[in-house]
Amino acid sequence: MHLVELTDRSSSILMVQRARKNVFPFVNHLCRGTKHNQIAAAFEAYGQLGRVTIHHSTAISALSTMHEDICHVAEDRRVEMIILPFHKQWRGEGVEAIENLGHCWREVNQSVLKSAPCSVAVLIDRGFNCPSEQAAEATTRMPKRVCILFVGGPDDRVALKLGGRMAGQQLAHVTLVRFLQRDGNRSEKELDEHALAEFKRSDGSVQYKEKAVSNVAEELLRIGESREYDILVVGKGHLPSSMGLTGNNTESEELGAMGNILSSANLGIFPSTLVIQRRKETDENECTFSKMT
């Protein structure tokens, strides 16, 4: 779903006409230069893999109401997960390479997280750890190294379900890193164990690691700086104080504690990160990820 900010009637009509003429749906002004064509081609190629059906759509609306369009489409199509781009975009390494799209786009994400009829993920996109000249070939041919960082709780269990889906794909090598807790709610732990057992039965090969660490933040930084993975998947949920994260790094509330650490620009984090929030009212067994937008 391409999000286009409505600025004035004439410009919006021209954008729609241009999109129809070029067949591919257009993207908004956030995608400059050749990036528009790259996104369109990426969707087309992804759909031709054979196991995914792509439905293109475009939302033209004011930023103040854009979340309503997103949630309406998600509800109408019975979407299981919405994936949103983080309001900061990386164009390279270092603080100077970050483009902040502005507070208004951040508010769009926050409104979707509050109103969505399904699970929501925020994507911190740093690319796939490839040199620019190798990026195109790497993106289409090389398996992506995916790491699910699991502490426990409803959001992490949804991340686990998504990881199980990824494990069944030829172009994904999935690793699960579980941080062991000394405390926690007994019923939540039982749900965690059930979800972990389901994940281990996923189609495809998965690597499973357990880590007993006193400070999760330090281990997150080690993993993020190591270049071992192309994308990290984490839950947004609150973490127990015994794991050394509560109350720290809360610059972006929509990312949660772990997501905030992994979104830091000055800590040498290399992988892209997907931060998942589970829909509170949804029964966990109903999350099948049959559709995403």
Q: Could you write out the DSSP letters of every residue in 183-197? A: S--HHHHHHHHHHHH
pLDDT value of position 83: 94
pLDDT band at residue 87 using 50, 70 and 90 as cut-offs: confident
167 pLDDT more than 70? yes
Residue with tokens 């290399």: 270
Q: What does the pLDDT read at residue 48? A: 75
- Summarised one tens digit per residue, pLDDT across range 26-79 is 334 444 445 556 666 767 777 776 567 777 777 778 888 889 989 998 999 999
pLDDT of residue 143: 79
pLDDT at position 165, please?
86
Arithmetic mean of pLDDT, 155-169: 89
Percentage of residues of the chain with pLDDT beyond 90: 28
The pLDDT value recorded for residue 239 is 67
| Residue type (1 letter), 234 | V
**Are the beta carbons of 267 and 261 closer than 8 angstroms?**
yes
For residue range 217-256, what is the model confidence (pLDDT) as tens digits? 889 899 998 889 999 999 998 766 656 555 445 578 889 8
Task: Judge whether residue 2 has pLDDT over 50.
Answer: yes
Q: Is 0.85 topped by the overall pTM?
A: no
- pLDDT top residue among 219 and 103: 219
pLDDT tops 50 at residue 6: yes
- What pLDDT, on the 0 to 100 scale, is given for residue 8? 61
Query: Please, which pLDDT band fits residue 89 given cuts at 50, 70 and 90?
Result: confident
The amino acid occupying position 5 is E
Q: Which residue has the higher pLDDT, 25 or 2?
A: 2
pLDDT of residue 135: 47
pLDDT value of residue 23:
44
Summary mean pLDDT of the chain: 77
Q: Which residues pair with 58 in a beta bridge?
A: 2
pLDDT tens column, 262-292: 888 677 788 899 999 998 664 444 455 555 6
Predicted confidence at residue 26, as pLDDT, reads: 39
